[in-house]
A and B are shown apart, each in its own frame.
Chain A
Amino acid sequence: MTSLITQTNIKNPDDIYQKLIDLHKGLTPEQSQKVNAKLILLLTNHIGDINVIQQAIALAKPR
């Protein structure tokens, strides 16, 4: 089973962080929610492996 990568896997976290923030600039909360949902679906499809996604779901749950 492939495990979810939780080690650092990106070189430029600040660039990516800014892209995410910019994506939501000026959106209403509803628009923002939908944009996030689309982003999750796109990345989920890219990953493809349900086991990996399930591990991410487990880590994302409220503490």
Chain B
Amino acid sequence: MTHSGIPVYKKKTYNKPLELQNQSKRHQLVIVGAGPIGLAAALDMALKGYDVLVLTAFEFISAGSKGICYSKQTLDYFDRLGIGERVVEKGVIWNVGKVFSGVQKDPIYQFDMLPIKDQKNPGFVNTQQYHVEDYLCDALENMPNVDIRWGHSLSGLKTKQNGCQLQVSTKDGDYTLETEYLIACDGARSVVRTLMNLTFEGKVFEDNFLIADVKFKQKRPSERWFWFDPPFNPDKSALLHKQPDDVWRLDFQLGWDIDKAEAIKPKNVDPLIKGMLGDDIEYEEEWYSVYTFQCARMQRFIHGRVIFAGDSAHLVSPFGARGANGGFADADNLCWKLDLVLQNNAPEILLESYNQERVMGADENILNSTRSTDFITPKDPFSQSLRDAVLELSLDTDFAPAFINSGRLSMPTPYLGSVLSTEDRDIFHAGPAPGHPCIDAPIQSDNIWLLSSLGGEFMLLHFGQDAPQSQLKTLIFPTDGLAAVRYGADEGTSYLIRPDQVVAARWKSASFQDIEQALNKAMGKG
């Protein structure tokens, strides 16, 4: 089933808004966009107890070829949102990526996305984006404080000092809404961004890629396979990824001057698929499409009371799974700050740290994604020679494979120098430094995990006896377990953890005052 050319995964119900019957109230929070980031932000805020209104122009969850790779950091966030285990159960778990070159049968390079084992979540899970959106919707639709308005599109926006006024269009007519805060999660072609005349600067890459999502039954390992210059796509690249329900993502580089309509015709896709998987492969088409991409971001992600998150704020190439994962990191970073500000427990300036930290995240994602693209599609004769030299030397030496860049896959961005962090006073030889995400570890033997025990509020993680006095919930760990090793902890070590499970401060020995000071700083009061 398709709707105006968009494939539909699940129909949703449009409801006539009460505002058209002259019932209107001022909202605390409106989210524009019901993609994965908008829905995650909605669920996060709804779980914190807010009335959340989500506007989306669509009346369905769309299918088609979208994001498929969800990183460990995203899964840790999903756990806090209550959908993590469902996503992992549905998805295909993978940690290993292999890179092939030319006619070589053996990989010339291999990487592991979960080098530190004994953590609850795997390095990556692959699943169709619509499954993630569906699970988020299921969770949201069970909550009385959530109103997802399918078929309500934003058509006008007036920003004010203490909020904004939205004009919304439906098939029954237009209405206006007032809100204190607006989170714009309306994607690469953000209507909010356009209505506000905000610029979006970056680099367009002159290349086309064919995505063929196909269904077939063949026993293959759950690994990411990438080819440079394979016989079935000479001088170009290809990528193979497993999804649930026997669906596979095949991605073929096509070059710049091509006829896109021609490229997705089955007669042209078939030789590529058979070349990759063998002449005897029997498959069914799920969806074929051609994409191009750009790496770009807004200069700032916060404009008054309008906050941008996900693709509306930044775009990357797909190599590295940094699009959706970067967007979830935005939502995770933003929601606890917005919560504290709305509760009047923190000054509004705390939100500015969202801009600071997530611009850092976007820049790292753009840098990595640009570098991968420069390696995969060299721009000039020297880049081509350097790339080919790396691939050839990889056959004879051990150092060259480290240069092979088929996509550096999404890892959390450490917020180095964040205004919310208290720099180390004591010497640590291991463990996550301030601004870095917490590392997981098993607690005792009964399948309890450190990250799951942290929850989503400011907490103190203490090793050994005599935890320091503090108003915070404190988790106490022994000094001889795996957690102590991973946190470089001795008797008396404490970590102050933010609600997004990022380290705010740590000490070998902390006083009540140390903790109070660091907590104030992490809440924007420093």
Interface residues on B, range: 20 to 34
Give a binary string over A12-47; 1 marks a CB under 8 Å from any B CB, 0 the rest: 011001101100110101001000100000000000
Q: What is the CB-to-nearest-CB distance from B105 to chain A, in angstroms, rounded to a whole number? A: 17
Decide if the interface of chain B is mainly helix, strand, loop or mixed.
helix
Asked whether A32 lies within 8 Å of B381 as measured between CB atoms, the reply is yes
Quick check: A8 and B408 within 8 Å, CB to CB?
no
The answer to whether B383 touches A24, judged by C-beta atoms less than 8 angstroms apart, is yes
- Tell me if B405 is interfacial: C-beta within 8 Å of chain A: yes
Determine whether B382 belongs to the interface, using a CB cutoff of 8 Å to chain A. Answer: yes
| Cβ contact within 8 Å between B382 and A21 | yes
* CB <8 Å contact, B405 and A14: yes
Which residue of chain A is the closest to B402 with respect to CB atoms?
Answer: A13
Give the docked Cα–Cα distance between A53 and B398 (Å). 18
Closest 9 pairs between A and B when the two form their complex, measured CB to CB: A24-B382, A6-B397, A13-B402, A8-B399, A13-B403, A7-B398, A32-B382, A8-B402, A21-B383
A15 CB → nearest B CB, Å? 9
Q: Given A17-B405, A59-B393: A24 and B380 within 8 A (CB)?
A: yes
Q: Which secondary structure dominates chain A's binding surface?
A: helix
**Contacts A8-B402, A17-B386 known; 18 new A-B pairs at CB < 8 A:** A5-B399, A7-B398, A8-B398, A10-B399, A14-B371, A17-B375, A17-B390, A18-B374, A21-B374, A21-B382, A21-B386, A24-B380, A24-B382, A32-B381, A36-B382, A59-B393, A59-B397, A63-B392
Q: How many residues of A contact B (CB 8 A)?
A: 20
B396 interface residue (CB < 8 Å to A): yes
Q: How far is the CA of A10 from the CA of B386 in the complex (A)?
A: 17
Q: Is the CB of B408 within 8 A of A14?
A: yes
Q: Does A2 contact B (CB under 8 A)?
A: no
The residue in A5, A6, A7, A14 that gathers the most chain B C-beta atoms within 10 A of its C-beta is: A14
Chain A residues lying within 8 Å of B383, measured Cβ to Cβ, are 21, 24
Cα distance A36–B397 when bound, in Å?
Answer: 21
Chain B, 374-390, contact with A by CB distance < 8 Å: what is the 0/1 string? Answer: 11000011110010001
List of B residues within 8 angstroms of A32 by Cβ: 381-382
Q: How far is the CB of A12 from chain B (nearest CB, A)?
A: 9
Q: Tell me, in angstroms, the Cα distance from A9 to B380 when the chains sit together.
A: 27
A-B contact pairs, 6 of them (CB 8 A): A6-B396, A14-B408, A21-B382, A25-B380, A32-B381, A63-B392
CA A6 to CA B397, docked complex, whole Å = 5
Query: Which of B368, B381, B382, B398 is A6 in contact with, Cβ under 8 Å?
Result: B398
Q: Smallest Cβ distance from A57 to chain B, in angstroms? A: 13
Contacts of B402 in A (CB 8 A): 8, 10, 13
Whole-angstrom distance from the CB of A41 to the nearest CB of chain B? Answer: 17
Instruction: Give complex CA distance A14, B407 in Å.
Output: 11
Shortest distance between the CB of B133 and any CB in chain A (Å): 33
Chain B window 352-384, contacts with chain A (Cβ cutoff 8 Å), 1 for yes, 0 for no = 000000000000000010010011000011110
Does A20 contact B392, Cβ atoms closer than 8 Å?
A: no
Q: What is the CA–CA distance of A5 and B390 in the complex, to the nearest angstrom?
A: 16
On chain A, the residues within 8 Å of B382 by CB distance are 21, 24, 27, 32, 36
Beta-carbon contacts under 8 Å, B399-414 to A? 399, 402-403, 405, 408
Q: What's the nearest-Cβ distance from chain A to residue B387, in Å?
A: 9
Determine whether the beta carbon of A9 is less than 8 Å from that of B399.
Answer: yes
Bound-state Cα–Cα, A11 to B381, Å? 26
Instruction: Report the separation of the CA atoms of residues A25 and B374 in the bound assembly, to the nearest whole angstrom.
Output: 12
Question: Closest CB-CB distance, A8 to chain B, in whole Å?
Answer: 5
Kindly state the separation between the CA atoms of A9 and B368 in the bound complex, as whole angstroms.
21
- In the complex, residue of chain A having the shortest beta-carbon distance to the beta carbon of B370: A18
Q: Of all chain A residues, which has the CB nearest B404? A: A13
Chain A residues 48 to 63 lying within 8 A of chain B, measured CB to CB, are 59, 63
On chain B, the residues within 8 Å of A63 by CB distance are 392, 395
With a CB–CB cut-off of 8 A, which chain A residues contact B403?
Answer: 13-14, 17
Distance of A59 Cα from B382 Cα, bound (Å) = 19
Contact with A along B469-485 (1 / 0, CB 8 A): 00000000000000000
Question: Which B residue sits closest to A33, measured CB to CB?
Answer: B382
Q: Which residues does chain A contribute within 8 Å of B371, judged by CB atoms?
A: 14, 17-18
Interchain CA distance A63-B386 in the complex, whole Å: 15
Which residues on the B side are within 8 Å of A6 (C-beta)? 396-399
**Inside 8 A of B398's CB, which chain A residues have their CB?**
6-8
